[in-house]
């Protein structure tokens, strides 16, 4: 399982940073970057008006969101503390912050939205993990 996780990371990291690099539209930091979901709201509302550039930005955000759901599944499997949601939440928060802080090293756009979306996608992955774990445990109990 650990080897599958490393393959996932090898695939995820270039995709994540490539898509994030495409989000650059300004240099510098604005106070708007620290208001949760402000940029996502602006992207969605202008996408509904038919702005093709923002439709592409919305698609990239969705890809980034979906790409971290497996992280929420893998972390509880490869750590020994998989039974506690709070211990996994700390790891997910660290991963989300780490990914955004890595972008500071380069002239890429950072936003609190990325941190929140990364955290939410990891939590969804954890929810899928608990559902799968319950199903597998119940199935094994029936077969025994």
What does the pLDDT look like over 31-50, one tens digit per residue? 556 667 777 777 777 777 77
Alpha-carbon distances of 110 from 91, 116, 124, rounded to whole Å: 20, 12, 22
What does the domain layout of the chain look like in residue ranges?
Answer: 2-143
| DSSP-H helix ranges across the chain | 2-21, 38-48, 52-67, 69-78, 85-104, 112-143
Q: How confident is the model at residue 27 (pLDDT cuts 50, 70, 90)?
A: very low
Q: Tell me the average pLDDT of the chain.
A: 76
pLDDT at position 123: 93
Half-sphere exposure of 55 (CA within 13 A, CB side): 6
Q: What percent of the chain has pLDDT over 70?
A: 71
Residues 62-109 pLDDT 10s: 888 888 899 898 888 888 766 788 888 888 888 888 887 777 776 666
Across 2-11, 14-23, 49-58, least confident range: 14-23
């Amino acid at each position: 399982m650990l080897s599958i996780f490393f393959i996932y990371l090898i695939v995820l990291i270039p995709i994540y940073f490539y898509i994030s690099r495409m989000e650059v539209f300004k240099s510098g930091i604005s106070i708007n970057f620290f208001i949760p979901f402000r940029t996502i709201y602006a992207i969605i509302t202008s996408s509904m008006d038919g702005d093709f550039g923002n439709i592409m930005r919305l698609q990239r955000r969705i890809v980034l969101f979906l790409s971290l759901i497996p992280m929420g599944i893998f972390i509880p499997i490869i750590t020994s503390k998989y039974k506690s949601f709070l211990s996994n939440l700390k790891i997910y928060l660290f991963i989300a912050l780490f990914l955004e802080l890595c972008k500071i090293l380069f002239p890429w756009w950072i936003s609190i939205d990325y941190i929140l979306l990364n955290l939410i996608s990891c939590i969804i992955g954890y929810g899928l993990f608990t559902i799968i774990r319950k199903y597998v445990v119940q199935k094994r109990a029936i077969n025994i």
